[in-house]
Structure 1
């Protein structure tokens, strides 16, 4: 079954960091907030949910994708970034629909299976 991009309500970019790269993550976060129409999520200094490392989330609408993602490609300061759509299927969004900038980290798929499709 083909899926339609019209089903994408928005996007999330998860910016991963560790103690040594937290300052870089802060610079990227500040620039994202200043340059684009995004919603900046809270800092999570420990792994949370399906995420294997400390991270913060950046939420943005489909019409911002063409602006935010190219900027992140060039300005992520070596950080690993998971980008995924919001379709209502958390498992598929974080796995088969995801794209990675930098290293592809292993998300906790069992957590995603437990929370289902919402």
Structure 2
């Protein structure tokens, strides 16, 4: 495997759950520097040379007034209202995954999860709703079912619906950038209690691909 010399040096340690630990997979981190460096939050236009943002807030008796934001130079909405984020490598997919978990020994949760599975199929026939699993699969330590969304409009509708209707269940929402470990960890969003996934199994899959000479991203 050849590592691009223009990339930053591979760090000997990384931060894992707030603790500095030895880098477990330097080859992957060399290929994917964003896993160790969050960079700068993106603005979709060149803000260099524009006036500084005002710190003035609207009057509010509670002191919680909102800022008056400058208009975008192009007068348009952010591209984030467009296609779902799929990474910047060209290896991603256009859909985001939603995983809805239940505890298999909790009959109340299992019944509620089955009811939610049916309700989503009726409420959102345009979404991809996968089978209801009775056992854990992949990096998921609890049984679950998956729903795929393909637009920011679908994501917003599904998120609003799940906030209202998820009940006692935990929900994972993640993009598909082509980097499965990062998508299931640093880019994951949770509704309800967070569940510890077996992300190491996803790293192991990447290590196998690297050992076979494939420097691509996990699918």
Give the TM-score of the pair, scaled to structure 1: 0.89
CA offsets, 1:2-40, max 9 Å, x none? 689354611111110123211100111112111222111
- Matches of 1:113 and 1:95 in 2, distance apart? 11
Q: Bigger CA drift: 30-39 or 2-11?
A: 2-11
Unaligned 5+ segments in structure 1 are none
Q: Write 1 or 2 for the structure with the bigger share of helix.
A: 1
Residue 114 of structure 2 is matched in structure 1 by 26
Q: How large is the RMSD of aligned CA atoms in angstroms?
A: 1.9
- Matches of 1:6 and 1:50 in 2, distance apart? 21
- Length, aligned pairs only: 118
Unaligned 5+ segments in structure 2 are 1-38, 43-79, 88-92, 207-217
CA offsets, 1:51-75, max 9 Å, x none? 0101111111123101001110111
Higher RCO, 1 or 2 (CA under 8 Å, sep at least 6)? Answer: 1
Give the TM-score of the pair, scaled to structure 2: 0.50
* Larger Rg belongs to: 2
